[in-house]
Amino acid sequence: MELTERSSQLDLLERRLADLLGGGGAAPTDRPVTVLTGPVGSGKTALAQTFARRACDAGARVVGASASRAERSVPLEVVRQLVRAVPLCAADAPDIRARLASLLDAGALAWNDADPADAENARLTAAIGRALLELTSRGPLVIVVDDIHHADVPSLRCLDYVARRLSGLPVLIVLTEAPRTRPWRADVHAEMLQPASLHRIRLPLLTAEGTFQLLAQRLDIPLARSIAEESHRISGGNPLLVHALADDQAAAPRSADAPAVGESFREAVLSCLYRCDHLVLNAARVLAVTGEPLHGSLLPHLVDARSHPALGAVDRSTSAGLIDEQGLRHPAVTQAVIDGMTAEERVRLHLGAARLLHDDGAPPARIAPHLVGIGELAEPWMAQTLLDAGEQALLDGEVETALRYLRRAHRSGVGECLRARIRSALARAEWRLDPQATIPHLVGVATAIRAGHLGSQQAAGPIQYLLWHGEIDKAVDLVRHLSERADAADPQSVAELLVITGWISTLYPGVVVDRPAPAVAARDPLTLARVKHGLSGVILLSGVLARGDAGVVEEAERTLSTTGPDDEPHMWRAICALVAMIYADQLDLADDWCDRLGRHLVTPHHPTPSATLTALRAAVAGRLGDLPRAGKLADEALGQLSPKGWGVVIGIPLAVRIRALTFMDQLDTAAACLQVPVPPATFETPLGLHYLHARGTHALAAGSPEAALADFQLCGQLMQRWKLDFSGLVPWRTESARALLRMGRRQQARKLVRDELTRLRPLHVRYRAAALRVLAATEEGQERIPHLRSAVRLLRQCGDRMELAHNLADLGHAYEQAGDRRQARAATRSARALAEECGIPTLWPSALSARDGATGSRAGAAVVVQGLTDAESRMATLAAQGHTNREIAEKLFLTVSAIEQRMTRIYRKLDVSSRSELAGRLRLDRPGTTVLDPLTRGTDPPGGRPSGPRPR
């Protein structure tokens, strides 16, 4: 082992050697014994070996021995090693060795460890000691004994005999010793290692710089520097452990900034502990299992009772630096100790710790980690403790920990009532990670509710999960069972039922559910407060949806400032507050709160709250017109949970993604999204309205206005039936008017959109602007311009950049038709800039905006060829008519490079190589071509209408 930070200790030994060799062959001091003291693994043996080699090189005779715990009971074993190592001249060797061997054999047979004062033992000790002293007459002698604390008692007595008679003799004795919690034979050690007769040299553990130097001898210097600090924290500066870390690092497949802790380190930790006292090993095992500090309450009760007095001696020096005041010094050390234990040892310690903590009245969170580690939960309190600890972990946001406790409790043999409570808590924990995983538990919970094993408080969560998964009939049936058994005199039961029914009425407004009689709640202020608090999210949503009350925004902010999406009840309130802000059209505020909650999410790795929050952020981005961000966030949200895991809530992210893709002209990808299964119950919730809206928008863009109109009108029917006819939810009248325009039913469209305008309040600027744009499309000539200018002004207020880009494009086209080219160019430039920001590849003026210029000719018509989209067909038509790429870019509000790329794609699709071939291919009398009037874009794209779920 390389010597690092040991130069001062080696210098002291060499000075002792120099005094020995330069003092005329006599011992230089009255303290002929030098003891190297340091923790196990600190490098004492390496230092002694280095000194022994230098003593040999200097001309001294060196004899050495190494003691071992396993040979403590072998009398005179250390002396035998010394005798075998003594160099003798050839003439005297046989006689001296034979005499020493005879003395040692006699001593081994006669030694009586039970009576060290026995006269025969004393005689033999003196005889052997005199024989050893005779060896010193042949020149300077250095005696080195490693691990003297493990030496057998007869050898210690013989060495003590020699040490006390070395005055004036050329002998230096060097011993190595590790601090112990208590000596094996305290009396013998006290005689041998008297402070007055020895010189003690202490070897401390390495410093952080010493750790780096040792690593640099084994590894590349940059790598050693990057891992030195953490390696020092792990090893405590123990050279043996640092070498082990270097071995693991060298064997690691690739270098890293953190030390690689592997098999070498684990073996080194166990080697250190086994070389320490058994008390240290036992204490380390207890500390590894309990995780307590050194002076915690469990350690004295879990180690051997006979060792209690010596526990105070367990410290860094006696434990090779592995144990300090905080317990085991590093998690890597803890894991190494645990890996070195048998399963039976771990179970015994866990069970003992759990019982001690339970008897002391410790909280369940302290007891549960030990109960997880035992076999059978034999005592009644154990499963209940695991349940209590799991529920507390859920409140603290530690879902993985809660699942570990609850799953262990669920596997035990407990009564039906307790098992039902465990399954209810399990469903709650599983829902945070994957709502789909709650389904098996919900079946058992429903059975328990019907059997009367669960009350309203334990049933509230599972019923909400049933609503999430669209199992509305089961949820209503369970509420009925709870209502029948509810104690009218129990305010808490009544409060829980009122909260549950309130949530059902909000999420499923078309479902009728009987509410419990509120007589008790009306007389109990505490119950009223509990109901109001539980329904705070519902109240916020109702204020916006039913009454269009924008004043709820302030209340929503107060709610969000005092809660978050980590704890489940808080999560529902926070989500409702955000949705209320979105429906109230306070999008910038909602976006800010979404970012704030996302940054402060305590458990961002828990998919359900994180995915829900991401879906709302996507909805905000979509309404603000940031299509790329909306699509990305929606895709991210959909990737966090499986389609089944999303339940009916999948309507939010799926709708945002479909609309974003549609507006970005990625119709095929949007059509693929429409193939994602959506639970039928989605269309019984307001969430289904968003999906219908998105599906209708896609149908309209794909050239199916009839299908789009059906979806928009279905939205209107549901909203009117549910008494939620609020444009902030879905502006179904405006969207229906768009579809009617595409079908050529302009009068009906004008009537519908004017009806929408009369219903809108002044604060609904976004929806008023959208309605004005559609109204402009129903007008003729210059009458469109005032409507479009009003819409542009309103959109600049609300910040919807996508809708603003479309309005500016329409306004530019209207100005051009009116002959005002300057205004047309300004509006067109602004539209193009906004379109690039929003990720809109193509800006088409509204279909009916082209009416004035198309009445007398087919100049505005486009040829549609099978295999090309509408956009590609229009581009191909303009190119075949002789327009340059720059002219096409001006007309279609695109860049020249975009036109070049799309023309290349058109050439490849049609298998043509020039514009002349393209013009021949687009002749109107060729088979496979049709004329598409800009007024009636009714051709389906390739693949036809995507088949999505459509309620009847």
- Tell me which amino acid residue 719 is: M
Q: What is the dihedral of CA 661, 665, 669, 672, to 10 degrees?
A: 80
Residue 209's pLDDT is what? 94
Instruction: Say how many CA atoms lie within 13 Å of 499 toward its Cβ.
Output: 27
Tokens of 145: 């004994």
Q: Please give the sequence-ordered ranges of beta strands (E in DSSP) within 372-440, or none if there are none.
A: none
What are the phi and psi torsion angles at 604 (to 5°)?
-65, -15
Residue 212's pLDDT is what? 94
Long-range residue pairs from 798-801, CB within 8 A, at least 24 positions apart, any chain: 798/585, 798/587, 798/765, 798/766, 798/769, 799/587, 799/588, 799/624, 799/625, 800/623, 800/624, 800/625, 800/766, 800/769, 801/624, 801/625, 801/626, 801/834, 801/837, 801/838
Residue 630's pLDDT is what? 94
What's the gap between Cα 622 and its chain centre?
28
How many C-beta atoms lie closer than 10 Å to residue 457's C-beta? 12
Q: Rg of the chain over CA atoms, in angstroms? A: 43
Say whether 930 sits in a helix, a strand or coil: strand
DSSP assignment, residue 845?
A: P
Residue 334's pLDDT is what? 95
How many C-beta atoms lie closer than 10 Å to residue 914's C-beta? 9
- Of the candidates 780, 781, 786, the one whose C-alpha atom is nearest the C-alpha of residue 807 is 786
Residues 582 and 620 sit within 8 Å (Cβ to Cβ): yes
Beta strand 171-177 with 33-37 is parallel
Number of residues assigned to the chain: 952
Residue 524's pLDDT is what? 66
- Tell me which amino acid residue 728 is: G
CA separation for the pair 662, 806 (Å, rounded)? 14
Q: Compute mean pLDDT per 10 residues along the chain, 952 residues long, and list them.
A: 84 89 59 90 93 91 91 88 73 66 80 61 83 77 91 88 83 90 71 75 94 92 92 94 93 80 94 92 94 89 74 89 92 94 93 93 94 86 94 87 93 86 91 89 89 84 91 91 71 79 88 66 65 78 70 83 68 86 88 84 71 93 90 94 93 95 90 94 94 95 91 95 89 94 91 93 86 92 90 89 88 86 87 82 52 37 53 80 85 83 87 82 43 34 38 37
Tokens of 565: 């999406």
- Tell me which amino acid residue 367 is: I
Instruction: Say how many CA atoms lie within 13 Å of 349 toward its Cβ.
Output: 24
With residue 421 as reference, give the H or E element that holds it.
Answer: helix 416-433
3-state SS record for 884-906: CHHHHHHHHCCCHHHHHHHHHHH
Residue 871's pLDDT is what? 74
What are the phi and psi torsion angles at 207 (to 5°)?
-80, 175
What's the gap between Cα 501 and its chain centre?
35
Q: Please give the sequence-ordered ranges of beta strands (E in DSSP) within 307-388, or none if there are none.
A: 323-324, 327-328
Residue 453's pLDDT is what? 86
How many C-beta atoms lie closer than 10 Å to residue 720's C-beta? 11
Residue 933's pLDDT is what? 35
Residue 864's pLDDT is what? 43
What are the phi and psi torsion angles at 865 (to 5°)?
-110, 140
Vertex 309 angle, CA 303 and 313, to 5°: 90
CA separation for the pair 102, 116 (Å, rounded)? 21
Tokens of 870: 């509408």
- Report the first-to-last Cα separation within the chain, whole angstroms: 82
SS3 content of the chain, % helix, strand, coil (to 5): 65, 5, 30
Sign of the torsion angle spanned by Cα atoms 136, 142, 146, 147: positive
Residues 20 and 140 sit within 8 Å (Cβ to Cβ): yes
Vertex 949 angle, CA 943 and 952, to 5°: 125
Vertex 525 angle, CA 522 and 530, to 5°: 95
With residue 479 as reference, give the H or E element that holds it.
Answer: helix 472-485
Alpha helices (H) along 783-850: 784-798, 801-818, 821-838
CA separation for the pair 756, 731 (Å, rounded)? 8
**930 exposure class (CB count in 10 Å sphere: 0-12, 13-18, 19+):** exposed
Per DSSP, the residues of 724-750 read ---TTT--HHHHHHHHHHHTT-HHHHH
Residue 944's pLDDT is what? 38
Residues 269 and 336 sit within 8 Å (Cβ to Cβ): yes
- Of the candidates 807, 781, 787, the one whose C-alpha atom is nearest the C-alpha of residue 795 is 807
